[in-house]
Amino acid sequence: MELNRPVTIFLAMLAFAGGMVVAWAQTPESSQQAAPEMPQPAAPEAPAFTKRGADTCLRCHDESSKFPVLAIFKTKHAQPADPRSPFGKLQCETCHGPGGHHAEEVPEGEKQAPIRTFGARSSIPAHEQNQVCLGCHQDKARIAWKGSPHAGNDVPCAACHKVHAEHDAVLTVATQPDVCYACHKVQRAEFEKPSVHPVRFAQMQCSSCHEVHGSMTEHLLNKPTLNETCYSCHAEKRGPHLWEHAPVAENCSNCHTPHGSVQPTLLVKRAPLLCQQCHSQSGHPSVARTGAGLPGGTPSAFLLNGACMNCHSQVHGSNDPSGVKLMR
Amino acid sequence: MNRHIALLLTAILLPAMRTEAEEPEVDTSKWPCKFCEFEEGSSFTPELGVGHVSEDSAKFGEYNGLDEQGAYAVANAEARYRKEDGRWLDLSAVDLGLDSRFFGVEGGKQGRYELHLGYKELQHNLGGTAMSPFLGAGSSSLTLPASWVDGATTGDMSGLTASLQRLDLETGRRIFDLGGSFTPVTHWAFAVNVRHEEKDGTRGIGGSFMFNDSQLPMPVHYETDQFDASAAYSAGRLQARIAYHGSIFRNDDDAFTWANPYIPLDAGADAGQIALAPDNQFHQLILSAGYRLAERTQLSADVAIGQMTQDEAFLPYTINASLVTQPLPRGSLDGKVETLSGKMKISTALAPTFRVNASLSYDERNNQTPQDVYDWIRTDSGPAAPRVNLPYSFSRSAAGIDAALALTPNLRIHAGCNYDEYHRDLQEVESTNEGACWGKANLDAGDLANLSFMWTYSQRTGSAYLPNPDGTPAQNPLMRLYNLADRDRNEAKLRVDLTPAAAFNVGLDVRATWDDYFSSTVGLLDGNSWSAAADCGWAISEKVSASCYVSHDLVKSRQANAELLAPTPLWFGSNHDETDSIGAGFKYGASEKFDLGVDYSYSRTTGEVAIKNAVEGFPDLATRMNSARLYVHYTPRKNLTLRFSWWNESYRSEDWALDDVLPTTIDNVLAFGQQGPDYDVNVFALSGRFEF
């Protein structure tokens, strides 16, 4: 059975929408604004919750504590009016779990009983930490979290996110890259190169292109393909053009590197060598260009300034009826 | 089952599978939260001051708006409003005194709805030393001064020097963003976003008459509107989302013309015309779903169906009135590309220590643009043999499986294989397939150390390499285009993170790739890259911390070339780029009232281009960048912080493609004369941050 494309698209839309409607219809009225599901707290034999909730915790965890937490009250997690917020539910223990034992007084010199903690240095396995976060946050942006590279490498959410800070650094354009560079050290070096996307100028961030919480696209790109990711900001190169340049239409990274390059305009290599990797036609494309073509010798149009692009300037495609050679 | 039916089944089944999780029941009646400092009321934190840039530099201010010498205003602000019932409003203003600036407002009622409005300007300086004799830069018609004298070469253009004017090659984006998200009932979220972007300015482009070329200031007057709308459902085992993405691009200029500064080689070739980026649209429907099949098994799927269209009216073949041209085969392209992307992944933990992931994907670019014969005119100069346009299509299918096994609590091994297959039309190779297998070991020694090592081997082969019958003129039959060529690739990655003391950590990341295009005699032969980066962090005391990084990066390749009839390569070329960078930072929080920080970075790059056995070689390409920053913050009282910053950055470059290439240096290129960047800039800023 073969369906034509418009019919398939229409049926897919109809089917998915139908499924969504079914799911909607099954949403009980009573659930409106009710608290969503949470990690299971207290089985009868489980550790007890504190007697006074956050008031118990804040007796110790004030600004002078080793683990100050008060900045959380500047964040969305501390909004009692939102039933989805931890402070709309079990306050600190929504995330940290029952803290009854942890809050018990201990003789001087002894450690408090442990409580669920978060971060790269926590003794709690990353996937267990993350399950707590995903209890509320496994929504549209995290559909593909499980099985993603970050999940597979046991990166806890709290390795990147600081929920007790007024401004979470990973959510701010200027500071996000430094959070990513903590692990992605090579990428920091790439953004130090002469030709870059403006990440070190604090005008772009890693998440401008990457969906770090999991994506079905290679390199965790936030669009279904690499080229569609690039077209988000470079729509003028999308076409389709009358005269296409095949490697361009297929994959921008055939000629460009995304983070930084020694060569201009993020090219993987400088023209004319870049173009001569693919063009061997008789005449000027296949002629070796040497230092003899530099100023002081016989300055060459095939070598200097834009080299091949001095004339073939429409390398991304042309819509000019006379643009077959990408010169118009 | 064909892919259409698979797509339909995915669409039908995933949203309908839903479950509810149980709610906890805890008595919180005695949890008054009286120590909780919930935020209520409003605050306003403006930062005002003055800064000064010591010299003009397009490269230093490439994106940050600090490209011009002189004073500028430091103007930033934050405002917050919070109400007990969950209503909130945030305002943010960044760098209002610069050409790259941002202003945004967002607010709503938490848990119910959010609205946001944003405005951003982004300046991109493309070079500050360009010169051109053309008049009308930024418009769609470039003319020459009345006194202009055509020349056979640039050196013969006697009026050139007197006609040169400075060109500001720069573009600016203005982005308006408006959107909101709504949560009318639990489990459901709806979002809409509208983004309007204007990009204006001038950038360089080459325009030629046969082999006589001019660098021209090309007008940029783009508008792009993007629309996004989505509905998402999330509860228990299921997350599903349906979304629409639309992007409409418009270019105010469909073409631009320029006067020929050379003595025309062909009759009537006294002006040329180039088509600019055509208006186009892209519309896409995206269906995503994730479903937890079992406690440790997750199924995720994405389907994206899109269509790109372009139907800008064609320009005439030429504006050279002395040439007789055939009628165009059609008035516009009626270009249409259908895209389809389907991906599915299943992740399961068969045991607490054993995880498996498997994935399938399919991407298609189906170009349905009609093919016609075009009797094109070569560079507004003369007729050429008719050509048929080649609308390229391709599809890509991929599958992968990997497994991770924790041998001990500290040692985990991970291995997998991927298979990737491309089908293309109208190109030299109809299909390529690439298989890759990889293995990784990870040793986690608790707080002390974490080490991982990964090796990947992949091989790409293809169907018969047949010179493209539609490619004119023909290539040397030994040529293998590198994105289609047979290739062996080895990749290695090593990562080490050490924490010898709680306050001190060191990290190392090393990567290497070796590519061998083993069937290529002409074209790219091989390529290697190698990167090593290390960093450190040291919390010296509660008040003092330091950080550092160092890296080395190398990219090199070899290639061969030969003209059509040569039986063996006639020449070999190589490229070798290296980058070194080093940096350090230091922060000192002396007291609640006083803190300072210093950051320093240095990076240098070299690029070697060589033609084997060439008598005259190339000098190295080189850049050197030193950057030092200092900041001091002093808080004399709770609601006032005085901020001082100094930033010095110097940059030196040697680029044989630009240096000493003046407008008359190349006989047949009327160049901008743009030189490689070279600057030493100091930026001082003093501001006060007030809290109300």
Q: Side chain identity at A204, as an amino acid letter? A: M
Look at residues B456, B523, B529 and name the one whose alpha carbon lies nearest to residue B485: B523
- Each residue's pLDDT tens digit, B320-346: 999 999 999 999 999 999 999 999 999
A 185-224 → B contacts, CB under 8 A: 185-186, 188-190, 192-194, 198, 201-203, 214, 216-217, 224
Q: How confident is the model at residue A14 (pLDDT cuts 50, 70, 90)?
A: low
For B38, the closest of A40, A73, A254 (CB atoms) is A73
pLDDT of residue B24: 54
User: Residue A29: pLDDT above 50?
Assistant: no
Sign of CA dihedral A200, A201, A202, A208: negative
User: Residue A31: pLDDT above 90?
Assistant: no
Is A25 in CB contact (< 8 Å) with chain B? no
Burial A303-315 (b: 16+ CB within 10 A, else e): bbbbbbbbbbbbb
User: Residue B240: pLDDT above 50?
Assistant: yes
Contact: A281, B659; criterion CB under 8 Å: no
| Average pLDDT, integer, range B618-628 | 97
Contact: A40, B376; criterion CB under 8 Å: no
pLDDT of residue A143: 86
Look at residues A258, A117, A122 and name the one whose alpha carbon lies nearest to residue A184: A258
pLDDT of residue B1: 41
Q: How confident is the model at residue A40 (pLDDT cuts 50, 70, 90)?
A: very low
Contact: B611, A290; criterion CB under 8 Å: yes
CA atoms lying within 13 Å on the CB side of residue B585: 15
pLDDT of residue A325: 95
For A90, the closest of B28, B289, B656 (CB atoms) is B28
B122, B63 contact by CB (below 8 A): yes
Contact: B336, A202; criterion CB under 8 Å: no
Residue numbers in B near A146 (CB within 8 A)? 290, 298, 300, 347
Share of chain A above pLDDT 90, in %: 66
- Each residue's pLDDT tens digit, B244-276: 999 999 999 999 999 999 999 999 999 999 999
Residue numbers in A near B341 (CB within 8 A)? 224-225
pLDDT of residue A33: 38
Q: How confident is the model at residue B448 (pLDDT cuts 50, 70, 90)?
A: confident
Alpha-carbon distance of B2 to A5, in angstroms, equals 12
Per-chain mean pLDDT for chain B? 93
For B234, the closest of A76, A139, A243 (CB atoms) is A139
pTM: 0.91
User: Residue B8: pLDDT above 80?
Assistant: no
Q: How close, in Å, is residue B556 to chain A by CA atoms?
A: 9
Contact: A328, B273; criterion CB under 8 Å: yes
Partnered with residue B302 across adjacent β-strands are B288, B343
Is A8 in CB contact (< 8 Å) with chain B? yes
How many Cβ atoms sit within 10 Å of the Cβ of residue B19? 12
More confident position, B425 or B542: B425
Is A37 in CB contact (< 8 Å) with chain B? yes
User: What three-state secondary structure class fits B546?
Assistant: strand
User: Residue A30: pLDDT above 50?
Assistant: no
Q: How confident is the model at residue A2 (pLDDT cuts 50, 70, 90)?
A: very low
Alpha-carbon distance of B281 to B252, in angstroms, equals 15
Share of chain B above pLDDT 70, in %: 96
pLDDT of residue A188: 92
Alpha-carbon distance of B342 to B335, in angstroms, equals 23
More confident position, B566 or B262: B262
| Average pLDDT, integer, range A13-31 | 52
B672, B204 contact by CB (below 8 A): yes
Is B260 in CB contact (< 8 Å) with chain A? no
Is B370 in CB contact (< 8 Å) with chain A? no
pLDDT of residue A9: 54
pLDDT of residue A15: 60
User: Residue B437: pLDDT above 60?
Assistant: yes
How many Cβ atoms sit within 10 Å of the Cβ of residue B477? 16
Is B610 in CB contact (< 8 Å) with chain A? no
A:B CB pairs within 8 Å: 550
Mutate to test the interface with A, among B88, B239, B480, B665 (most CBs of A within 10 A): B239
Q: Is B236 left (phi over 0), alpha (psi -120 to 50) or beta?
A: left
User: Residue B347: pLDDT above 90?
Assistant: yes
Is A19 in CB contact (< 8 Å) with chain B? yes
Alpha-carbon distance of A117 to A111, in angstroms, equals 15
Q: How close, in Å, is residue B449 to chain A by CA atoms?
A: 11
More confident position, B692 or B176: B176
More confident position, B628 or A141: B628
Secondary structure of B298-350 in HEC code, one letter for each residue: EEEEEEEEEEEEECCECCCCCCCCCCCCCCCCCCECCEEEEEEEEEEEEEEEE
In chain B, whose CA is at the least distance from the CA of A7? B4
pLDDT of residue A35: 38
Sign of CA dihedral B460, B465, B471, B473: positive
Q: How confident is the model at residue A20 (pLDDT cuts 50, 70, 90)?
A: low
A50, A100 contact by CB (below 8 A): yes
Residue numbers in A near B85 (CB within 8 A)? 81
- Each residue's pLDDT tens digit, B536-564: 999 999 899 999 999 999 999 999 999 88
Contact: A186, B122; criterion CB under 8 Å: no
Contact: B310, A241; criterion CB under 8 Å: yes
Q: How confident is the model at residue B316 (pLDDT cuts 50, 70, 90)?
A: very high
pLDDT of residue A109: 83
B 422-461 → A contacts, CB under 8 A: 424, 426-427, 442, 447
A 239-298 → B contacts, CB under 8 A: 239-244, 246-247, 249-251, 254, 261-263, 268-270, 273, 276-283, 286-292, 294-297
Contact: B618, A276; criterion CB under 8 Å: no
Alpha-carbon distance of A153 to A307, in angstroms, equals 44
More confident position, A65 or B85: B85
Look at residues A321, A305, B616 and name the one whose alpha carbon lies nearest to residue A313: A305
- Each residue's pLDDT tens digit, B482-492: 999 999 999 99
Alpha-carbon distance of B543 to B642, in angstroms, equals 19
**Which of A295-304, B25-34, B292-301 has maximum average pLDDT?**
A295-304
Share of chain A above pLDDT 70, in %: 85
Q: How many residues does chain B have?
A: 692
Contact: B553, A239; criterion CB under 8 Å: no
pLDDT of residue B471: 67
Contact: A291, B579; criterion CB under 8 Å: no
Is B408 in CB contact (< 8 Å) with chain A? no
Q: How many residues does chain A have?
A: 328
pLDDT of residue A21: 55
More confident position, B647 or A104: B647
Contact: A240, B308; criterion CB under 8 Å: yes
pLDDT of residue A36: 39
- Each residue's pLDDT tens digit, A180-231: 999 999 999 999 999 999 999 999 999 999 999 999 999 999 999 999 999 9
CA atoms lying within 13 Å on the CB side of residue B532: 2
What is the DSSP code (8-state) at residue A311?
Answer: T
pLDDT of residue A42: 45
B284, B306 contact by CB (below 8 A): yes
Mutate to test the interface with B, among A191, A195, A228, A242 (most CBs of B within 10 A): A242
Contact: B531, A146; criterion CB under 8 Å: no
Q: How confident is the model at residue B13 (pLDDT cuts 50, 70, 90)?
A: very low
What is the DSSP code (8-state) at residue B143?
Answer: B
Q: How close, in Å, is residue A278 to chain B by CA atoms?
A: 5
Alpha-carbon distance of A107 to B601, in angstroms, equals 50
Look at residues B485, B441, B437 and name the one whose alpha carbon lies nearest to residue B457: B437
Sign of CA dihedral B266, B268, B271, B272: negative
Choice among A117-126, A306-315, B237-246, B643-652 with the minimum mean pLDDT: A117-126
User: Residue A47: pLDDT above 70?
Assistant: no
